[in-house]
Structure 1
Protein backbone atom coordinates (compact mmCIF):
# COMPACT_ATOMS: atom_id res chain seq x y z
CA UNK A 1 0.00 0.00 0.00
CA UNK A 2 1.34 3.42 -0.98
CA UNK A 3 1.72 5.90 1.89
CA UNK A 4 -0.43 9.02 1.45
CA UNK A 5 2.74 11.13 1.35
CA UNK A 6 3.82 9.22 -1.76
CA UNK A 7 0.60 9.77 -3.68
CA UNK A 8 1.00 10.80 -7.29
CA UNK A 9 -0.69 14.15 -6.72
CA UNK A 10 1.62 15.05 -3.86
CA UNK A 11 4.75 13.88 -5.70
CA UNK A 12 3.81 16.02 -8.69
CA UNK A 13 3.31 19.07 -6.48
CA UNK A 14 6.70 18.56 -4.86
CA UNK A 15 8.42 17.92 -8.18
CA UNK A 16 6.97 20.91 -10.01
CA UNK A 17 7.78 23.19 -7.10
CA UNK A 18 11.37 21.95 -6.93
CA UNK A 19 11.90 22.30 -10.69
CA UNK A 20 10.52 25.84 -10.49
CA UNK A 21 12.63 26.82 -7.46
CA UNK A 22 15.85 25.62 -9.05
CA UNK A 23 14.80 26.79 -12.53
CA UNK A 24 16.00 23.46 -13.89
CA UNK A 25 16.59 23.50 -17.65
CA UNK A 26 17.93 20.42 -19.42
CA UNK A 27 16.35 21.28 -22.76
CA UNK A 28 17.46 18.99 -25.56
CA UNK A 29 19.75 16.84 -23.38
CA UNK A 30 19.97 13.07 -23.03
CA UNK A 31 19.97 12.01 -19.38
CA UNK A 32 21.07 8.59 -18.13
CA UNK A 33 19.81 7.90 -14.63
CA UNK A 34 17.92 5.24 -12.67
CA UNK A 35 14.34 4.17 -12.21
CA UNK A 36 13.77 2.96 -8.66
CA UNK A 37 11.12 2.40 -6.01
CA UNK A 38 9.40 4.67 -3.53
CA UNK A 39 10.49 8.32 -3.58
CA UNK A 40 13.34 7.47 -5.97
CA UNK A 41 10.79 6.96 -8.74
CA UNK A 42 10.91 10.72 -9.26
CA UNK A 43 14.42 11.04 -10.74
CA UNK A 44 13.77 10.29 -14.43
CA UNK A 45 10.50 12.22 -14.36
CA UNK A 46 12.24 15.24 -12.83
CA UNK A 47 14.74 15.19 -15.70
CA UNK A 48 11.89 15.15 -18.21
CA UNK A 49 10.04 17.93 -16.37
CA UNK A 50 13.29 19.88 -16.60
CA UNK A 51 13.12 19.64 -20.39
CA UNK A 52 15.36 16.65 -21.17
CA UNK A 53 14.72 15.40 -24.71
CA UNK A 54 15.32 11.78 -23.70
CA UNK A 55 15.72 10.05 -20.37
CA UNK A 56 17.20 6.55 -20.19
CA UNK A 57 16.54 4.98 -16.81
CA UNK A 58 18.40 1.84 -15.73
CA UNK A 59 16.60 -0.43 -13.32
CA UNK A 60 16.73 -3.93 -11.88
CA UNK A 61 14.70 -6.09 -9.54
CA UNK A 62 15.48 -5.65 -5.86
CA UNK A 63 13.91 -6.64 -2.55
CA UNK A 64 11.92 -3.41 -2.80
CA UNK A 65 10.25 -4.26 -6.12
CA UNK A 66 10.62 -5.99 -9.46
CA UNK A 67 11.90 -4.30 -12.59
CA UNK A 68 8.43 -4.65 -14.11
CA UNK A 69 6.84 -2.89 -11.13
CA UNK A 70 9.40 -0.08 -11.25
CA UNK A 71 8.86 0.36 -14.98
CA UNK A 72 5.08 0.56 -14.60
CA UNK A 73 5.31 3.05 -11.72
CA UNK A 74 7.84 5.27 -13.53
CA UNK A 75 5.86 5.42 -16.76
CA UNK A 76 2.60 6.06 -14.89
CA UNK A 77 4.23 8.96 -13.04
CA UNK A 78 5.59 10.30 -16.33
CA UNK A 79 2.11 10.12 -17.85
CA UNK A 80 0.62 11.99 -14.90
CA UNK A 81 3.37 14.61 -15.13
CA UNK A 82 2.61 15.22 -18.80
CA UNK A 83 5.96 13.95 -20.09
CA UNK A 84 5.05 10.57 -21.66
CA UNK A 85 7.25 9.19 -24.40
CA UNK A 86 10.47 10.83 -23.21
CA UNK A 87 11.45 8.19 -20.66
CA UNK A 88 12.68 4.70 -21.48
CA UNK A 89 13.16 2.27 -18.60
CA UNK A 90 15.54 -0.61 -19.28
CA UNK A 91 17.36 -3.40 -17.48
CA UNK A 92 20.07 -3.47 -20.16
CA UNK A 93 23.29 -1.48 -19.84
CA UNK A 94 23.72 -0.89 -23.55
CA UNK A 95 26.97 0.81 -24.59
CA UNK A 96 25.05 2.99 -27.04
CA UNK A 97 22.89 4.42 -24.26
CA UNK A 98 25.95 5.29 -22.20
CA UNK A 99 27.81 6.86 -25.13
CA UNK A 100 24.86 9.10 -26.10
CA UNK A 101 24.21 10.52 -22.65
CA UNK A 102 24.94 14.16 -21.92
CA UNK A 103 24.24 13.61 -18.22
CA UNK A 104 25.06 10.48 -16.21
CA UNK A 105 23.85 10.55 -12.61
CA UNK A 106 25.63 8.51 -9.96
CA UNK A 107 22.36 6.87 -8.91
CA UNK A 108 22.24 3.37 -7.44
CA UNK A 109 21.25 1.39 -10.54
CA UNK A 110 23.71 3.36 -12.67
CA UNK A 111 26.70 2.61 -10.44
CA UNK A 112 29.41 1.57 -10.55
CA UNK A 113 30.73 4.37 -12.72
CA UNK A 114 34.01 2.56 -13.22
CA UNK A 115 36.75 2.65 -15.83
CA UNK A 116 34.81 0.44 -18.24
CA UNK A 117 31.77 2.73 -18.09
CA UNK A 118 33.84 5.91 -18.29
CA UNK A 119 35.51 4.61 -21.47
CA UNK A 120 32.05 4.48 -23.11
CA UNK A 121 31.06 8.00 -22.11
CA UNK A 122 31.63 10.98 -24.36
CA UNK A 123 34.12 13.56 -23.06
CA UNK A 124 31.45 16.27 -23.11
CA UNK A 125 29.22 14.34 -20.69
CA UNK A 126 28.90 15.43 -17.07
CA UNK A 127 28.38 13.50 -13.84
CA UNK A 128 26.44 15.28 -11.08
CA UNK A 129 26.76 13.68 -7.67
CA UNK A 130 23.59 13.51 -5.60
CA UNK A 131 25.51 14.49 -2.47
CA UNK A 132 28.14 17.00 -1.40
CA UNK A 133 31.74 16.74 -2.55
CA UNK A 134 33.16 15.82 0.86
CA UNK A 135 30.81 12.81 0.98
CA UNK A 136 32.18 11.59 -2.36
CA UNK A 137 35.63 11.52 -0.82
CA UNK A 138 34.52 9.48 2.20
CA UNK A 139 35.44 6.01 1.06
CA UNK A 140 33.36 5.70 -2.13
CA UNK A 141 34.50 2.74 -4.25
CA UNK A 142 31.72 2.83 -6.87
CA UNK A 143 32.78 6.07 -8.54
CA UNK A 144 36.11 6.34 -10.39
CA UNK A 145 36.76 10.06 -10.16
CA UNK A 146 40.33 9.85 -11.54
CA UNK A 147 39.05 8.01 -14.63
CA UNK A 148 36.38 10.68 -15.19
CA UNK A 149 38.91 13.47 -14.88
CA UNK A 150 41.39 11.76 -17.17
CA UNK A 151 38.72 11.59 -19.86
CA UNK A 152 37.84 15.24 -19.33
CA UNK A 153 34.37 14.52 -17.96
CA UNK A 154 33.27 17.12 -15.42
CA UNK A 155 32.08 15.77 -12.09
CA UNK A 156 30.92 17.76 -9.07
CA UNK A 157 28.84 17.46 -5.93
CA UNK A 158 25.54 19.10 -5.12
CA UNK A 159 25.36 21.93 -2.60
CA UNK A 160 22.75 20.34 -0.36
CA UNK A 161 22.64 23.51 1.74
CA UNK A 162 21.53 25.74 -1.13
CA UNK A 163 18.17 27.34 -0.18
CA UNK A 164 16.47 25.82 -3.24
CA UNK A 165 17.76 22.35 -2.29
CA UNK A 166 18.01 22.50 1.52
CA UNK A 167 18.38 18.76 2.13
CA UNK A 168 20.55 19.17 5.24
CA UNK A 169 17.58 20.59 7.11
CA UNK A 170 16.08 17.07 7.09
CA UNK A 171 19.10 15.51 8.85
CA UNK A 172 17.71 16.13 12.32
CA UNK A 173 14.35 14.60 11.39
CA UNK A 174 16.22 11.54 10.16
CA UNK A 175 17.98 11.22 13.53
CA UNK A 176 14.62 11.50 15.29
CA UNK A 177 13.24 8.76 13.01
CA UNK A 178 16.23 6.51 13.75
CA UNK A 179 15.60 6.88 17.47
CA UNK A 180 11.84 6.40 17.18
CA UNK A 181 12.38 3.17 15.26
CA UNK A 182 14.49 2.00 18.20
CA UNK A 183 11.77 2.94 20.67
CA UNK A 184 13.41 6.12 21.97
CA UNK A 185 11.53 9.42 21.61
CA UNK A 186 13.80 12.41 21.25
CA UNK A 187 11.47 14.43 23.45
CA UNK A 188 12.84 14.73 27.00
CA UNK A 189 15.62 12.26 26.21
CA UNK A 190 19.32 12.86 26.74
CA UNK A 191 21.05 12.11 23.43
CA UNK A 192 24.80 11.99 22.78
CA UNK A 193 25.85 12.77 19.22
CA UNK A 194 29.22 11.60 17.91
CA UNK A 195 29.76 13.55 14.70
CA UNK A 196 32.90 14.66 12.85
CA UNK A 197 31.35 16.22 9.74
CA UNK A 198 29.07 19.05 8.51
CA UNK A 199 25.95 17.10 9.51
CA UNK A 200 26.58 18.11 13.14
CA UNK A 201 24.82 21.46 13.48
CA UNK A 202 21.78 20.33 11.50
CA UNK A 203 21.42 17.15 13.56
CA UNK A 204 21.79 19.01 16.84
CA UNK A 205 19.20 21.56 15.74
CA UNK A 206 16.73 18.88 14.66
CA UNK A 207 17.11 16.75 17.77
CA UNK A 208 16.87 19.74 20.09
CA UNK A 209 13.85 20.99 18.16
CA UNK A 210 12.18 17.65 18.89
CA UNK A 211 12.78 18.18 22.61
CA UNK A 212 16.03 16.28 23.16
CA UNK A 213 18.85 17.34 25.44
CA UNK A 214 21.79 17.00 23.06
CA UNK A 215 25.51 16.77 23.76
CA UNK A 216 27.73 16.61 20.68
CA UNK A 217 31.43 15.98 20.12
CA UNK A 218 33.72 14.80 17.34
CA UNK A 219 35.35 12.14 19.53
CA UNK A 220 33.91 9.56 21.88
CA UNK A 221 36.28 10.69 24.61
CA UNK A 222 34.65 14.10 24.39
CA UNK A 223 31.30 12.58 25.34
CA UNK A 224 32.03 9.89 27.91
CA UNK A 225 32.61 12.28 30.79
CA UNK A 226 28.91 13.18 30.72
CA UNK A 227 25.97 11.30 32.26
CA UNK A 228 24.62 8.25 30.46
CA UNK A 229 22.29 9.18 27.61
CA UNK A 230 19.28 7.28 26.30
CA UNK A 231 21.23 6.76 23.08
CA UNK A 232 24.54 7.49 21.39
CA UNK A 233 23.96 8.52 17.77
CA UNK A 234 27.02 7.86 15.63
CA UNK A 235 27.43 10.02 12.53
CA UNK A 236 31.05 9.68 11.44
CA UNK A 237 32.68 9.81 8.02
CA UNK A 238 33.17 6.25 6.74
CA UNK A 239 36.78 5.11 6.92
CA UNK A 240 36.63 1.72 5.24
CA UNK A 241 36.44 0.06 8.66
CA UNK A 242 34.69 0.48 12.03
CA UNK A 243 34.68 4.10 13.18
CA UNK A 244 34.90 2.99 16.82
CA UNK A 245 37.95 1.01 17.92
CA UNK A 246 37.78 -2.00 20.28
CA UNK A 247 39.25 0.21 23.02
CA UNK A 248 36.51 2.77 22.46
CA UNK A 249 33.86 0.06 22.60
CA UNK A 250 35.35 -1.11 25.91
CA UNK A 251 35.24 2.43 27.28
CA UNK A 252 31.68 2.92 26.07
CA UNK A 253 30.46 -0.31 27.65
CA UNK A 254 32.23 0.48 30.92
CA UNK A 255 31.02 4.08 31.17
CA UNK A 256 27.54 3.70 29.70
CA UNK A 257 26.54 0.02 30.09
CA UNK A 258 23.72 -1.11 27.82
CA UNK A 259 23.67 2.19 25.94
CA UNK A 260 21.77 2.11 22.64
CA UNK A 261 24.02 2.95 19.69
CA UNK A 262 22.23 4.53 16.73
CA UNK A 263 24.15 3.94 13.50
CA UNK A 264 23.38 7.06 11.51
CA UNK A 265 26.56 7.02 9.39
CA UNK A 266 29.90 5.30 9.71
CA UNK A 267 30.56 1.56 9.89
CA UNK A 268 30.33 -0.20 13.26
CA UNK A 269 31.62 -3.51 14.60
CA UNK A 270 28.22 -4.96 15.36
CA UNK A 271 29.63 -8.21 16.74
CA UNK A 272 31.83 -6.16 19.04
CA UNK A 273 28.87 -4.12 20.23
CA UNK A 274 26.80 -7.25 20.86
CA UNK A 275 29.65 -8.88 22.79
CA UNK A 276 29.72 -5.86 25.09
CA UNK A 277 25.95 -5.78 25.62
CA UNK A 278 25.44 -2.62 23.57
CA UNK A 279 22.28 -2.72 21.41
CA UNK A 280 22.40 -1.11 17.97
CA UNK A 281 19.80 0.37 15.65
CA UNK A 282 18.85 -0.18 12.88
CA UNK A 283 18.73 -3.93 13.38
CA UNK A 284 19.91 -4.61 9.82
CA UNK A 285 23.45 -3.74 8.80
CA UNK A 286 23.14 -0.82 6.35
CA UNK A 287 26.16 -1.86 4.29
CA UNK A 288 29.69 -0.52 4.27
CA UNK A 289 29.78 3.24 3.90
CA UNK A 290 25.99 3.57 3.78
CA UNK A 291 23.71 5.49 6.12
CA UNK A 292 21.63 3.65 8.69
CA UNK A 293 18.68 5.93 8.00
CA UNK A 294 17.95 7.37 4.56
CA UNK A 295 16.39 10.73 3.71
CA UNK A 296 13.45 8.80 2.22
CA UNK A 297 12.60 7.57 5.73
CA UNK A 298 11.05 10.95 6.51
CA UNK A 299 9.13 11.25 3.23
CA UNK A 300 9.76 11.98 -0.45
CA UNK A 301 10.44 15.69 0.11
CA UNK A 302 14.23 15.53 0.66
CA UNK A 303 14.62 13.05 -2.21
CA UNK A 304 12.75 15.28 -4.65
CA UNK A 305 14.82 18.28 -3.59
CA UNK A 306 18.12 16.40 -3.71
CA UNK A 307 17.53 14.81 -7.09
CA UNK A 308 16.42 18.12 -8.58
CA UNK A 309 19.48 19.79 -7.11
CA UNK A 310 21.75 17.16 -8.63
CA UNK A 311 20.15 17.60 -12.03
CA UNK A 312 20.62 21.37 -11.66
CA UNK A 313 24.33 20.73 -11.09
CA UNK A 314 24.36 18.82 -14.39
CA UNK A 315 22.76 21.79 -16.14
CA UNK A 316 25.46 24.10 -14.77
CA UNK A 317 28.32 21.73 -15.67
CA UNK A 318 27.02 21.44 -19.24
CA UNK A 319 27.37 25.19 -19.62
CA UNK A 320 30.83 26.52 -20.64
CA UNK A 321 32.70 27.61 -17.51
CA UNK A 322 32.94 31.19 -18.71
CA UNK A 323 29.15 31.38 -19.02
CA UNK A 324 28.36 30.12 -15.51
CA UNK A 325 26.97 32.85 -13.32
CA UNK A 326 27.64 33.26 -9.62
CA UNK A 327 24.08 32.09 -9.05
CA UNK A 328 24.80 28.95 -11.10
CA UNK A 329 27.95 28.16 -9.16
CA UNK A 330 26.11 28.29 -5.84
CA UNK A 331 24.43 24.98 -6.71
CA UNK A 332 27.75 23.25 -7.41
CA UNK A 333 29.98 21.78 -4.73
CA UNK A 334 33.39 21.33 -6.34
CA UNK A 335 35.53 18.31 -5.57
CA UNK A 336 39.01 18.94 -4.23
Structure 2
Protein backbone atom coordinates (compact mmCIF):
# COMPACT_ATOMS: atom_id res chain seq x y z
CA UNK A 1 0.00 0.00 0.00
CA UNK A 2 1.47 3.41 -0.96
CA UNK A 3 0.54 5.16 2.31
CA UNK A 4 1.90 2.46 4.60
CA UNK A 5 4.93 3.30 6.71
CA UNK A 6 7.06 0.46 8.01
CA UNK A 7 8.60 1.01 11.47
CA UNK A 8 10.24 -1.21 14.00
CA UNK A 9 8.40 -1.73 17.26
CA UNK A 10 11.27 0.01 19.06
CA UNK A 11 10.81 3.17 16.96
CA UNK A 12 7.06 3.22 17.45
CA UNK A 13 7.30 2.67 21.20
CA UNK A 14 9.89 5.41 21.53
CA UNK A 15 7.76 8.15 19.95
CA UNK A 16 4.28 6.94 20.90
CA UNK A 17 5.21 6.43 24.54
CA UNK A 18 6.67 9.93 24.63
CA UNK A 19 3.39 11.32 23.30
CA UNK A 20 1.50 9.33 25.92
CA UNK A 21 3.83 10.50 28.69
CA UNK A 22 3.40 14.18 27.80
CA UNK A 23 -0.36 13.70 27.56
CA UNK A 24 -0.49 12.31 31.10
CA UNK A 25 1.91 14.95 32.47
CA UNK A 26 0.16 17.95 30.92
CA UNK A 27 -3.39 16.66 30.63
CA UNK A 28 -3.97 14.76 33.86
CA UNK A 29 -1.43 14.49 36.64
CA UNK A 30 0.38 17.78 37.25
CA UNK A 31 -1.20 21.07 38.38
CA UNK A 32 -0.74 24.37 36.58
CA UNK A 33 1.34 26.81 38.62
CA UNK A 34 -1.13 29.65 37.89
CA UNK A 35 -4.28 28.19 39.47
CA UNK A 36 -2.92 25.07 41.20
CA UNK A 37 -5.47 22.85 39.47
CA UNK A 38 -5.27 19.74 37.35
CA UNK A 39 -7.39 19.75 34.17
CA UNK A 40 -10.20 17.66 35.67
CA UNK A 41 -10.46 19.95 38.71
CA UNK A 42 -10.47 23.06 36.53
CA UNK A 43 -13.16 21.61 34.29
CA UNK A 44 -15.33 20.67 37.26
CA UNK A 45 -15.19 24.18 38.70
CA UNK A 46 -15.75 25.81 35.31
CA UNK A 47 -18.75 23.56 34.63
CA UNK A 48 -20.21 24.38 38.05
CA UNK A 49 -19.68 28.07 37.26
CA UNK A 50 -21.55 27.68 33.97
CA UNK A 51 -24.35 25.85 35.82
CA UNK A 52 -24.63 28.74 38.28
CA UNK A 53 -23.81 26.58 41.31
CA UNK A 54 -22.56 29.39 43.53
CA UNK A 55 -22.37 29.07 47.32
CA UNK A 56 -25.75 30.80 47.78
CA UNK A 57 -27.67 28.71 45.22
CA UNK A 58 -29.36 25.31 45.77
CA UNK A 59 -27.26 22.14 45.63
CA UNK A 60 -27.33 20.09 42.44
CA UNK A 61 -26.95 16.33 42.02
CA UNK A 62 -23.34 15.28 41.51
CA UNK A 63 -24.42 12.97 38.70
CA UNK A 64 -25.62 16.03 36.78
CA UNK A 65 -22.34 17.87 37.40
CA UNK A 66 -20.24 14.87 36.35
CA UNK A 67 -22.31 14.44 33.19
CA UNK A 68 -21.83 18.11 32.34
CA UNK A 69 -18.06 17.87 32.79
CA UNK A 70 -17.71 14.62 30.86
CA UNK A 71 -19.96 15.65 27.98
CA UNK A 72 -18.50 19.10 27.46
CA UNK A 73 -14.87 19.14 28.56
CA UNK A 74 -13.42 15.93 29.96
CA UNK A 75 -14.02 12.89 27.70
CA UNK A 76 -12.83 10.27 30.18
CA UNK A 77 -14.52 7.90 32.61
CA UNK A 78 -17.10 9.23 35.04
CA UNK A 79 -15.40 7.64 38.07
CA UNK A 80 -12.22 9.80 37.98
CA UNK A 81 -14.35 12.93 37.55
CA UNK A 82 -16.51 12.06 40.55
CA UNK A 83 -13.42 11.14 42.60
CA UNK A 84 -11.92 14.57 41.87
CA UNK A 85 -15.19 16.28 42.77
CA UNK A 86 -15.45 14.36 46.03
CA UNK A 87 -11.87 15.16 47.04
CA UNK A 88 -12.44 18.88 46.55
CA UNK A 89 -15.28 18.63 49.09
CA UNK A 90 -13.44 16.62 51.77
CA UNK A 91 -12.15 18.79 54.66
CA UNK A 92 -9.64 16.08 55.61
CA UNK A 93 -8.18 16.05 52.06
CA UNK A 94 -8.05 19.76 51.21
CA UNK A 95 -6.98 22.45 53.64
CA UNK A 96 -9.47 24.82 52.00
CA UNK A 97 -12.29 22.97 50.25
CA UNK A 98 -13.40 24.26 46.86
CA UNK A 99 -16.69 22.34 46.70
CA UNK A 100 -19.40 22.15 49.33
CA UNK A 101 -20.94 18.72 49.44
CA UNK A 102 -24.27 17.52 50.76
CA UNK A 103 -24.58 13.84 51.59
CA UNK A 104 -21.97 11.16 52.22
CA UNK A 105 -18.64 12.30 50.79
CA UNK A 106 -16.52 9.69 52.57
CA UNK A 107 -14.61 9.96 55.82
CA UNK A 108 -11.13 9.98 57.31
CA UNK A 109 -11.79 6.34 58.26
CA UNK A 110 -11.65 5.40 54.60
CA UNK A 111 -15.40 5.10 54.07
CA UNK A 112 -16.34 5.46 50.41
CA UNK A 113 -18.62 8.30 49.33
CA UNK A 114 -22.17 7.55 48.31
CA UNK A 115 -22.89 7.05 44.62
CA UNK A 116 -23.12 10.28 42.62
CA UNK A 117 -26.86 9.87 42.15
CA UNK A 118 -27.31 10.43 45.90
CA UNK A 119 -24.85 13.24 46.64
CA UNK A 120 -25.23 16.93 45.83
CA UNK A 121 -22.75 19.79 45.53
CA UNK A 122 -22.17 23.46 44.86
CA UNK A 123 -19.12 25.72 44.84
CA UNK A 124 -17.51 27.11 47.97
CA UNK A 125 -17.06 30.88 48.16
CA UNK A 126 -13.31 30.36 47.71
CA UNK A 127 -13.88 28.62 44.36
CA UNK A 128 -15.98 31.58 43.21
CA UNK A 129 -13.00 33.83 43.94
CA UNK A 130 -10.90 31.67 41.64
CA UNK A 131 -13.41 32.20 38.81
CA UNK A 132 -14.00 35.90 39.36
CA UNK A 133 -13.98 38.00 36.15
CA UNK A 134 -13.50 34.95 33.93
CA UNK A 135 -16.21 36.35 31.62
CA UNK A 136 -14.15 39.53 31.06
CA UNK A 137 -11.51 37.90 28.83
CA UNK A 138 -9.04 37.73 31.70
CA UNK A 139 -7.59 34.35 30.69
CA UNK A 140 -6.89 32.65 27.34
CA UNK A 141 -9.43 30.10 26.14
CA UNK A 142 -8.91 26.94 24.13
CA UNK A 143 -11.19 24.59 22.25
CA UNK A 144 -12.55 21.55 24.03
CA UNK A 145 -11.90 18.00 22.82
CA UNK A 146 -14.29 18.16 19.84
CA UNK A 147 -13.95 21.83 19.01
CA UNK A 148 -17.55 22.65 19.85
CA UNK A 149 -16.88 24.75 22.97
CA UNK A 150 -14.19 26.87 24.58
CA UNK A 151 -12.71 26.29 28.02
CA UNK A 152 -10.17 28.28 30.06
CA UNK A 153 -6.49 27.35 29.89
CA UNK A 154 -6.33 28.29 33.59
CA UNK A 155 -8.57 30.12 36.06
CA UNK A 156 -7.98 33.81 36.76
CA UNK A 157 -8.50 33.75 40.52
CA UNK A 158 -6.48 35.76 42.98
CA UNK A 159 -6.37 32.78 45.33
CA UNK A 160 -2.87 31.19 45.53
CA UNK A 161 -4.44 27.74 45.36
CA UNK A 162 -1.29 25.76 44.59
CA UNK A 163 0.30 26.90 47.85
CA UNK A 164 -2.73 26.80 50.17
CA UNK A 165 -4.13 23.45 49.01
CA UNK A 166 -1.05 21.79 47.57
CA UNK A 167 -1.29 18.97 45.07
CA UNK A 168 -0.24 15.39 44.57
CA UNK A 169 -0.11 13.14 41.55
CA UNK A 170 1.92 10.52 39.74
CA UNK A 171 2.59 11.12 36.06
CA UNK A 172 4.92 9.19 33.75
CA UNK A 173 8.50 9.39 34.97
CA UNK A 174 7.74 12.13 37.48
CA UNK A 175 5.49 12.94 40.43
CA UNK A 176 4.39 15.91 42.50
CA UNK A 177 3.62 16.18 46.20
CA UNK A 178 3.16 19.80 47.23
CA UNK A 179 1.96 20.27 50.84
CA UNK A 180 -0.81 22.74 51.77
CA UNK A 181 -0.05 25.96 53.64
CA UNK A 182 -1.92 28.43 55.81
CA UNK A 183 -3.61 31.09 53.69
CA UNK A 184 -2.67 33.91 56.09
CA UNK A 185 1.03 32.97 55.90
CA UNK A 186 0.90 32.75 52.11
CA UNK A 187 -0.82 36.13 51.78
CA UNK A 188 1.77 37.71 54.12
CA UNK A 189 4.54 36.22 51.95
CA UNK A 190 2.92 37.60 48.78
CA UNK A 191 2.69 41.08 50.32
CA UNK A 192 6.33 40.84 51.40
CA UNK A 193 7.38 39.78 47.90
CA UNK A 194 5.47 42.69 46.32
CA UNK A 195 7.32 45.11 48.60
CA UNK A 196 10.69 43.34 48.27
CA UNK A 197 11.01 42.01 44.72
CA UNK A 198 14.64 41.02 45.22
CA UNK A 199 13.91 38.81 48.25
CA UNK A 200 15.18 35.23 48.38
CA UNK A 201 13.59 31.99 49.53
CA UNK A 202 15.42 32.37 52.84
CA UNK A 203 13.68 35.73 53.34
CA UNK A 204 10.27 34.09 52.90
CA UNK A 205 10.87 31.05 55.13
CA UNK A 206 10.23 32.96 58.41
CA UNK A 207 6.89 34.10 56.95
CA UNK A 208 5.72 30.74 55.59
CA UNK A 209 6.78 28.72 58.59
CA UNK A 210 5.81 25.35 57.17
CA UNK A 211 2.93 23.24 55.81
CA UNK A 212 -0.54 23.48 57.34
CA UNK A 213 -2.21 20.11 56.90
CA UNK A 214 -6.02 19.74 57.12
CA UNK A 215 -5.67 16.99 59.73
CA UNK A 216 -3.08 18.93 61.75
CA UNK A 217 -0.07 17.20 63.25
CA UNK A 218 3.38 18.23 64.45
CA UNK A 219 6.20 18.67 61.95
CA UNK A 220 9.71 17.41 62.65
CA UNK A 221 12.96 17.58 60.69
CA UNK A 222 12.91 21.28 59.89
CA UNK A 223 16.14 20.80 57.93
CA UNK A 224 14.27 18.67 55.39
CA UNK A 225 11.60 21.37 55.08
CA UNK A 226 14.18 24.09 54.42
CA UNK A 227 15.79 21.85 51.80
CA UNK A 228 12.40 21.36 50.12
CA UNK A 229 11.79 25.11 49.98
CA UNK A 230 15.27 25.78 48.57
CA UNK A 231 15.58 22.90 46.10
CA UNK A 232 12.01 21.68 45.52
CA UNK A 233 12.59 18.33 47.22
CA UNK A 234 12.88 17.26 50.85
CA UNK A 235 11.50 14.93 53.49
CA UNK A 236 9.93 15.79 56.83
CA UNK A 237 8.51 13.77 59.70
CA UNK A 238 4.89 14.32 60.68
CA UNK A 239 3.58 13.19 64.06
CA UNK A 240 0.13 13.13 65.65
CA UNK A 241 -0.65 15.75 68.29
CA UNK A 242 -1.53 14.44 71.73
CA UNK A 243 -2.18 15.49 75.31
CA UNK A 244 -1.89 13.54 78.56
CA UNK A 245 -4.77 13.25 81.02
CA UNK A 246 -3.76 11.02 83.89
CA UNK A 247 -2.96 7.63 82.38
CA UNK A 248 -4.75 8.49 79.13
CA UNK A 249 -2.94 9.51 75.94
CA UNK A 250 -5.41 11.51 73.84
CA UNK A 251 -4.61 12.15 70.17
CA UNK A 252 -6.51 15.10 68.71
CA UNK A 253 -4.66 15.28 65.38
CA UNK A 254 -3.16 12.59 63.16
CA UNK A 255 -0.72 12.78 60.22
CA UNK A 256 -2.01 13.78 56.80
CA UNK A 257 -3.62 11.10 54.60
CA UNK A 258 -3.54 8.48 57.37
CA UNK A 259 -6.63 6.26 57.50
CA UNK A 260 -7.86 6.52 61.10
CA UNK A 261 -9.71 3.21 61.06
CA UNK A 262 -6.67 1.33 59.74
CA UNK A 263 -4.48 3.13 62.28
CA UNK A 264 -6.62 1.93 65.19
CA UNK A 265 -6.74 -1.57 63.75
CA UNK A 266 -2.94 -1.62 63.50
CA UNK A 267 -2.51 -0.44 67.12
CA UNK A 268 -4.86 -3.20 68.29
CA UNK A 269 -2.89 -5.84 66.39
CA UNK A 270 0.43 -4.61 67.80
CA UNK A 271 -0.94 -4.69 71.35
CA UNK A 272 -2.28 -8.21 70.80
CA UNK A 273 1.13 -9.36 69.48
CA UNK A 274 2.92 -7.73 72.45
CA UNK A 275 4.90 -5.44 70.16
CA UNK A 276 3.44 -2.49 72.04
CA UNK A 277 3.19 -2.94 75.78
CA UNK A 278 1.41 -0.98 78.48
CA UNK A 279 -1.91 -0.28 76.73
CA UNK A 280 -5.10 -1.25 78.53
CA UNK A 281 -7.77 0.04 76.14
CA UNK A 282 -8.24 2.02 72.93
CA UNK A 283 -11.32 4.19 72.30
CA UNK A 284 -12.26 6.21 69.26
CA UNK A 285 -14.30 9.16 70.51
CA UNK A 286 -14.01 11.17 67.29
CA UNK A 287 -17.05 13.04 66.03
CA UNK A 288 -17.90 15.90 63.67
CA UNK A 289 -16.10 18.30 66.02
CA UNK A 290 -12.77 16.58 65.41
CA UNK A 291 -10.50 13.64 66.13
CA UNK A 292 -10.22 12.17 69.62
CA UNK A 293 -8.42 8.86 70.04
CA UNK A 294 -8.10 7.82 73.69
CA UNK A 295 -5.37 5.32 74.54
CA UNK A 296 -5.61 4.22 78.17
CA UNK A 297 -2.36 2.90 79.59
CA UNK A 298 -1.95 0.40 82.41
CA UNK A 299 -1.31 1.61 85.94
CA UNK A 300 2.34 0.53 85.94
CA UNK A 301 3.03 1.69 82.35
CA UNK A 302 5.41 4.48 81.45
CA UNK A 303 3.51 6.76 79.05
CA UNK A 304 6.73 8.01 77.43
CA UNK A 305 7.70 4.45 76.50
CA UNK A 306 4.20 3.74 75.18
CA UNK A 307 4.33 6.90 73.06
CA UNK A 308 7.74 5.98 71.63
CA UNK A 309 6.41 2.55 70.69
CA UNK A 310 3.34 4.09 69.02
CA UNK A 311 5.45 6.53 67.00
CA UNK A 312 7.91 3.82 66.01
CA UNK A 313 5.48 1.11 64.94
CA UNK A 314 2.37 2.95 63.68
CA UNK A 315 1.38 5.76 61.35
CA UNK A 316 1.05 8.16 64.27
CA UNK A 317 4.40 9.26 62.89
CA UNK A 318 5.10 9.21 59.16
CA UNK A 319 7.66 10.39 56.65
CA UNK A 320 6.25 12.95 54.20
CA UNK A 321 8.17 13.53 51.00
CA UNK A 322 7.85 16.98 49.42
CA UNK A 323 8.18 17.33 45.63
CA UNK A 324 7.41 20.86 44.47
CA UNK A 325 6.69 20.19 40.81
CA UNK A 326 4.10 22.02 38.68
CA UNK A 327 3.51 23.05 35.08
CA UNK A 328 4.89 26.41 33.96
CA UNK A 329 3.75 27.18 30.40
CA UNK A 330 2.87 23.49 30.03
CA UNK A 331 6.40 22.43 30.95
CA UNK A 332 7.14 20.59 34.24
TM over 0.5: no
The structure that has the greater radius of gyration is 2
TM-score, normalisation: structure 1: 0.25
Instruction: Specify which structure has the higher proportion of strand.
Output: 2
TM-score, normalisation: structure 2: 0.25
